[in-house]
Chain A
Amino acid sequence: MAQSRLVAPELATIKVHGMTRESFLLRSTLAGAAAFGTLSATGLITKAFAASGGGDVDILNYALTLEHLETEFYVQAAKRVKGLSDYESRLTKELRDNESEHVDALTATIKQLGGKPAAKPMFDFGGAFGSRATYLKTANTLEDTGVSAYNGAAPMIKSGEVLGAAGGIVQVEARHAAMIRLVRNKPPAPNAFDKASDMDEVLKAVKPFIAA
C-alpha cells in the first residue's frame, strides 16, 4: 500500500524530531525475539527487511512514537498521581514497564532494519495527573487509541514477521485498555469489532500531549 496515502499535512506542524510525515503510520513491532521466542532476532529481522523494503520502518517509527508517549505517560503517572489504590499503583507500573519494553523492542528493530529510530518527542500531559479520575480517563483514551492505531496500520505492514510482532504488541495494548476500563467501571470490550484508526484520527487524539 502506498505510503503517500498516509501523509497527513498536520504532521508537518508537529515537532516530532526524527520522524518524517510519512513515518506516521501504524504502531507496532518487532519484538521479534520476544514475540517469537525461539527464533533468533537477527534472522527474523533479516527476513522481515528483505520482505518489506523500507515501508515497514516508517510504520515502526509511528509505533515507536506512540509507545514513547505511553511510556512517558505512565512514568509520570507512577510518580505524580495521588489516591490510587494498591492495585491501581501496581497496574500503572506494570503498564509503564510493558510500554517501555515496546519502546526498546521497536528501537532495536528499526536499527536492525537499517532505519533511524524516531527521537522521543517532548510530551506535556497537562492536568492529566491531577486526580485519579483524570489519570485513568486519559490512560483509557491512550490505550484505546493505541489499539485502534495498530489495528489501522497493521494491514499495511508488508512483512509477515513484522506483522506478527505488531500483533503481539497490539494484543497487549488491548489487554491494557480492558484493565484500565475495568478500574473505571467501564465495559472492557464495548464493541464487537475494535475500531481501526487512520493517522489523522490518532494524531488528533495524541496531539494535545505533544509539546511544540
Chain B
Amino acid sequence: MGSIVNFEFGGTFPVTDSALRELADDPSSRKRFFKMLGGAGAVSAATVFLAACGDDDDESASSPKPAAEDGKADAKDNTSDLEILNYALTLEFLEAEFYRGVIDSGIVKDQKVVSLAKKFGSTEQEHVDALTATIEKLGGKPVAKPKTNFGPTLDKGLKAVLEAAADVENLGAAAYLGQAGSIKNKEVLAAALAIHSVEARHAAALNTLVGRGFGSGKGGLKGALPDGAFAKPMDMKAVLNAVQPFLA
C-alpha cells in the first residue's frame, strides 16, 4: 500500500506531556486546571495526574485513603479503577516492548516506517509512565513489566511484524473500549479516553500500512475500520488470551 500512503512525517513530533507533568507538579496550575474543569467541563489526560495528586477540594479527585477511613463503596471503586489501570499498564508495557524489539532487531529498513515505529513506541512508553504514576498516586501498586518474547514474530519477517503491530494496536483500542464503562473516577476515565483514541489512530495507521484497506473483517481484527462505523470492545479475558503468544 506504499503507493497509496506516503510516509513523510518529517522528523520531530510535538511533545505535549511535559505540560501535563508541569501541571501535575505545580499546585497553582492544578488549582487553575480544576477551576477550568469545573467551569467548562473540559477534561484532559492531565487530569489523571491531578486526580492522583489528591486535591481535597474536589471530591471527584479520589485521593487514596486507608480503607478503614473510607466508605466501603469508595474503597471498592478505587480498587476496581486500579485493577483496570494495571490491566492497561500491562498492555502498554507489551506495546512499548514490542516497538523496542522491532526497532532493535533492525528488521525495518524503510526509514519512514522506522520513524513511525519509534514515534508509536515512544508514545506507548509515555502511556506506561503516565499509568504507572497514576496508579502509584492513587495508592496502588503498579504491576511489573511482563516478560515478553517477540522472537518468533520477528523471525517471520517484516510483513508479519507490521501485521502483529497492527493486531496489538487493535487489541489495545478494543481493550480500552471494553473498560470505559467500568471506570469510576471521571479523571481516570478522561485519561483512558485520551489514550484509547491514540491507540485507535495507531491501529488505523498500521492497518493501512500493511494493506488491510477498510473494514469488512467481520468479527476479526482486519481493516483500518475493522468493525465498520462502530468499534467493538473486547473484555479482559479475550484480550489477555490474544496477547499470550507475546508473553514469555
Contacts and interface: CB of A to CB of B under 8 A. Distances in A.
B198 A192 contact: yes
For A36, A161, A182, the residue with the greatest tally of chain B CB atoms inside 10 Å of its CB is: A182
B197 A194 contact: yes
Interface residues of B, number: 61
Contacts of A5: 38-41
Interface string A105-129: 1000000000000000000000000
Contacts, number: 209
Contact of B194 (A105, A177, A193, A198): A193
A34 B197 contact: no
A15 interface: no
A24 to B, nearest CB: 10
A188 B204 contact: yes
Interface in B168-196: 173, 176-177, 180-182, 186-187, 189-191, 193-196
B193 A175 contact: no
Interface in A143-158: 147, 150-156
A63 interface: no
> Which of A98, A164, A175 gathers most chain B CB within 10 Å?
A175
A29 B196 CA distance: 16
Interface of B: 4-9, 13-14, 16-17, 20, 38-45, 119-120, 122-123, 126-127, 130, 173, 176-177, 180-182, 186-187, 189-191, 193-198, 200-205, 208, 214-215, 224-225, 227-233
Contact of A185 (B6, B43, B200): B6
Contacts of B9: 185-187
Contacts of A177: 201
Contacts of B196: 167, 170-171, 174
A78 interface: no
A137 interface: no
A150 to B, nearest CB: 8
A31 to B, nearest CB: 5
